[in-house]
Amino acid sequence: MKLITAIVNKEDSRAVCHDLLKQKFYVTRLSTTGGFLMAGNMTLLICTEDERVDECIGVISNCCKQRTEIVPGTATMGLGIESAMPMQVTVGGATIMVTNVERFEKL
């Protein structure tokens, strides 16, 4: 058994969960916040058989695409003057970690 931990953008999370459930993967969702943009994420916990790991990652990959967005940023111009300058950042995609599970029970 493997535990797949996937951190996905909140905007992508609904489609990801829908497709994972459709493919008979059981998902636990946790609302999380990213550190850099302080934007909403969803951390998904998926426990599955070893031979289905690539299938699960494929489902996540199909739903989570990277895209660029313009977000407000701040820049210091010296002398304590700050200006809000928009920044272009890449959001979306997924961060996926796969770990071994020694024991799994569904009670």
Average pLDDT of adjacent 10-residue blocks, the chain of 107 residues: 93 92 94 69 94 96 80 57 65 88 89
C-alpha gyration radius of the chain: 18
Q: Which pairing describes strands 27-33 and 66-76: parallel, antiparallel, or unpaired?
A: unpaired
Distance CA 64, CA 79 (A): 42
Percent composition of the chain: helix, strand, coil (DSSP 3-state, to 5)? 25, 50, 25
pTM above 0.85, yes or no: no
**What are the tens digits of pLDDT across the range 53-81?**
999 999 999 998 877 766 666 554 555 55
Domains of the chain: 2-66+92-100 (3.30.70.120)
Provide the token pair at 24. 């008979």
Q: What percent of the chain has pLDDT over 70?
A: 73
